[in-house]
Amino acid sequence: MNRDVVVLVCLLVAAPALASTSGVAAVDLVSLTRAHFPERPWVPLSAADAALAGSGRATDVSSSWSRNPALLAQSLAPGARLSGLTLDPQRSDLRAHTISFSDTSPFASFGESGIALRHLPYTVAAYLAQDAFDKERTAYIDTAFGQPPTERENEVETQRLRFGVGAAYAASERWGVGAGIEAHRLVEHVSSTPSEEAQTTFGIVPADVRVSGIGFGGSAGIRYAAAEKIAVGADARVGSSPKWKDESGEKVGSDQVPFSSDLGVIVGGARGGNLLVGASYDAAREAALGDSSGHATDRDPARVSLAAGYAYRPAEAPWEFRAGLGWSPRPSDGGSRFTRYGVGIGYDLEGILARASYAREARRGPDGEDSSRNFLVLSVEIRL
């Protein structure tokens, strides 16, 4: 039986109930696409960050020097970093509750890129970093929300970018502090397109919202060598609450750049094995898309994440290995539980340090539904 016949049979079976259905306008667009907006807790910033599952963000310059600007004082500046990733979402929660499910993936994006220059004891950098990214396209026969079975195509995209300028000061061989000024650009796109049969026969209409906003904020961080082979780091970021604007420039809603912070410890030296432990905190985020489907405000509760990783670099050989595990428990006031892991390798080409990593993040929602995201991350660092 082909797909068109399946759709036609489903629609005919549902025909007697049409008098009691009210169409797509009765259901908000985010619920219709199962977008879990605005819950997007982690995106790897570099191949090292992906391999360490976020455990090195406060202490390891290879993981990030935009999250903790104090790491610029320990960087290989002058230098440049380019980091790209592919994302492959796996919506097992949708597949289990719909008919004829299919998706289109993966999608390419980037993590953290920038350039840093040093004039001891100062280091300055300009960077572009992406703390949140998710994108997916799905097609299936929807039987939810009391509507007739509807062949539907959905597209969801979320993105949060930081354009920043940071500076670090190496107070001594043990101390480093840093600060940054940042502009945040937020983008959300959610759309749902029912089949032509559903539109013409039952009057179920397409729905689409694409909004963006710009806010401003800053970051600060510190890194301290507490002992010969023990270093600790901490950082914090704040941001404004930008207004959503649609494609015509009209203000249609609001969003938040939530306060966030990292704390970490690294045990080990430049060569040999290193143990990394990290924790991060993200404050609650409330966002209102302002879409025509009647969607109100979504709230992503405050969240704590924990991670641990191991990095090994031989004393003589030019290669390295990293692996890590991360966990974000379910917040007490709702939300999802997340687990992640990563593994990666690197090779020093005498002036160009190349890394590649695979990372996976799994989500367990409050109702027990599961989904996951796979990342393949490539990073190149160039000494200028």
What is the SS3 assignment for the chain? CCHHHHHHHHHHHHHHHHHHCCCHHHCCHHHHHCCCCCCCCCCCCCHHHHHCCCCCCCCCCCCCCCCCHHHHHHCCCCEEEEEEEEEEEECHHHHHHCEEEEEECCEEEECEEEEEEEECCEEEEEEEEEEEEEEEEEEEEECCCCCCCEEEEEEEEEEEEEEEEEEEECCCCCEEEEEEEEEEEEEEEEEEEECHHHHHHHCCCCEEEEEEEEEEEEEEEEEEEEECCEEEEEEEEEECCCEEECCCCCEEEECCCCCEEEEEEEEECCCEEEEEEEEEEECCEEEECCCCCCCCEEEECCEEEEEEEEEEECCCCCEEEEEEEEEECCCCCCCCEEEEEEEEEEEECCCEEEEEEEEEEEEECCCCCEEEEEEEEEEEEEEC
What pLDDT does residue 287 have?
85
Do the beta carbons of residue 172 and residue 206 sit within 8 Å? no
Res. 186: pLDDT tops 60: yes
Residues near 201 by Cβ (< 8 Å), separated by ≥ 6? 11
Mean pLDDT over 266-290 rounds to 91
State both tokens at 9: 């049979």
Q: Which residue has the higher pLDDT, 50 or 141?
A: 50
CATH of domain 3-383: 2.40.160.60
Residues near 19 by Cβ (< 8 Å), separated by ≥ 6? none
Assess whether the previous peptide bond of 78 is cis (omega < 30° from 0).
yes
Assess whether the previous peptide bond of 314 is cis (omega < 30° from 0).
no
Torsion of CA 27, 29, 33, 38, to 10 degrees: -120
- How big is the chain by its Cα radius of gyration, in Å? 23
What pLDDT does residue 221 have?
97
Characterize the bridge pairing of strands 337-348 and 319-328.
antiparallel
d(C-alpha 343, C-alpha 55), whole Å: 12
For the chain, domain boundaries = 3-383
d(C-alpha 151, C-alpha 249), whole Å: 32
What pLDDT does residue 17 have?
34
Residue 47 dihedral angles phi and psi, to the nearest 5°: -65, -35
What pLDDT does residue 34 have?
82
Res. 6: pLDDT tops 60: no
- pLDDT band for 362, please (50, 70, 90 cuts): very high
d(C-alpha 163, C-alpha 113), whole Å: 10
Res. 143: pLDDT tops 50: yes
Res. 146: pLDDT tops 70: no
Mean pLDDT over 345-366 rounds to 93
Give the other-Cβ count within 10 Å of 253's Cβ: 21
Structure confidence by residue, pLDDT tens digits, 204-255: 888 888 999 999 999 999 999 998 899 999 999 999 999 999 888 888 888 8
Mean pLDDT over 182-204 rounds to 88
Res. 321: pLDDT tops 70: yes
Structure confidence by residue, pLDDT tens digits, 93-134: 888 778 888 888 899 999 999 999 998 899 999 999 999 999
Q: Which residue has the higher pLDDT, 197 or 67?
A: 67
* CB-count exposure of residue 322 (10 Å: 0-12, 13-18, 19+): buried
State both tokens at 14: 């549902």
Percent above pLDDT 70 for the chain: 90
Mean pLDDT over 255-262 rounds to 93
- pLDDT band for 294, please (50, 70, 90 cuts): low
What pLDDT does residue 76 have?
74
What pLDDT does residue 295 have?
59
Q: Which residue has the higher pLDDT, 6 or 201?
A: 201
Give the other-Cβ count within 10 Å of 147's Cβ: 23
